[in-house]
Amino acid sequence: MAKITAAITGVGGYLPEYILDNNELSRMVDTSDEWIMSRIGIKSRHILKGEGVGTSFMGVKAVNDLLEKCDVDPMTVDLVICGTVTPDMFFPSTANLIAHKCGMKKAFAFDLSAACSGFLFGLVTGSKYIETGAARRVVVIGADKNSSIVDYTDRSVSPIFGDGAGAVLLEPSTDGSGVLDADLHSDADGGVHLCIKAGGSAYPATEETVRNRWHYIHQEGQAVFKAAVSNMSDVSLNIMQRNGLTPENITYLVPHQANMRIIAATAQRIGLPVEKCMINIEKFGNTTAATLPLCLWDYESRMKKGDNLILAAFGGGYTWGAAYVRWAYDGGDFSR
């Protein structure tokens, strides 16, 4: 019997309307378009505005986009996983809120906390439910409202992040497409370099935690930069070696969008021309768990059935990994 794999059979996405460009940011902190473009490669990022509007708002939009495009009845979805570090609240989970609002009433739903690797970890987790036959339709979401955790007085962090959500549908396949391999890692040794100190059970919110700005992202940029390049390239090389992938037969590297220089250095280390990388960092910035699905969403119309993709991510924790995905359909063909 042919092996059952989890194919990505559709992609949805959403970016909030408001665009914060480098010129506006330069009026908020001591920075410039020139510095941000040369050191990070970001021109603008989308920001979710509105009182009481959280990550689930964007997740709902992305999932509705996905289900409409694929003409899938929400009641047939078995499982919803949402990678996020900016949940609407501690509980109910954001996945649960999205499932409810999108009418996925028969699904069980949970959040997955792995920072920028959240979607990748969720994709691999969801694929196991498909491979074992425990689920036939899984929705995996990556969504973050980073503007809720960015200190807009900190010039080393504020240019990097933006808000957004992306989602994919996983369904069983026997034609050799889907999530074919993965190499995932975490190491809390790196946790101190990229974290939010307060707001959890160790340091619940107090006047002092707010005064100390402990509810915002703390990032030691250079340490994170080095770890991102070496770890993303190592896991990508491992995936290439294990699966007979070469720079020639890889169609796209789908890298986490944190810094254009990180993407270029990773591509160089694995011997891939940067033209084979999905890149949208310039217009969306780093949307944490949403970068990978938003790349797939952005490039969907260009992809062909059988394309070989390596998805690679690195983020807070540290967490990192890569997955080999063989694309399951041509461009925007939703008649399948």
Residues classed as catalytic: 116, 256, 286
Decide: is 258 part of the binding site for ligand UT7 (CB under 6 A). yes
Tell me which residue has its CB nearest to ligand UT7: 221
In which region does residue 23 sit, left (phi positive, over 0), alpha (psi from -120 to 50) or beta (all else)? alpha
Q: Which of 43, 155, 218, 305 binds ligand UT7 (CB under 6 A)?
A: 155
Q: Which of 21, 37, 39, 136 binds ligand UT7 (CB under 6 A)?
A: 39
Decide: is 295 part of the binding site for ligand UT7 (CB under 6 A). no
Stretch that binds ligand UT7, among 8-16, 32-40, 45-53, 96-104 (CB under 6 A): 32-40
Decide: is 31 part of the binding site for ligand UT7 (CB under 6 A). yes
Q: Which of 16, 74, 159, 164 binds ligand UT7 (CB under 6 A)?
A: 159
Q: For the CB of residue 217, give the shortest distance to ligand UT7 in the complex, in Å.
A: 8
Decide: is 43 part of the binding site for ligand UT7 (CB under 6 A). no
Q: For the CB of residue 91, give the shortest distance to ligand UT7 in the complex, in Å.
A: 25
Give me the count of residues in the chain. 336
Q: Which of 47, 262, 294, 295 binds ligand UT7 (CB under 6 A)?
A: 262
Residue placing its CB nearer to ligand UT7 in the complex, 38 or 249: 38
Helices assigned H by DSSP within the chain: 22-28, 33-39, 55-70, 94-101, 118-131, 207-211, 221-243, 260-269, 281-284, 291-299
Decide: is 221 part of the binding site for ligand UT7 (CB under 6 A). yes
| Long-range pairs of 298-305 with CB within 8 A, sequence gap ≥ 24 | 298/13, 299/252, 300/11, 300/331, 300/332, 301/331, 301/332, 302/331, 303/251, 303/252, 303/327, 303/329, 303/330, 303/331, 304/251, 304/330, 304/331, 305/177, 305/329, 305/330
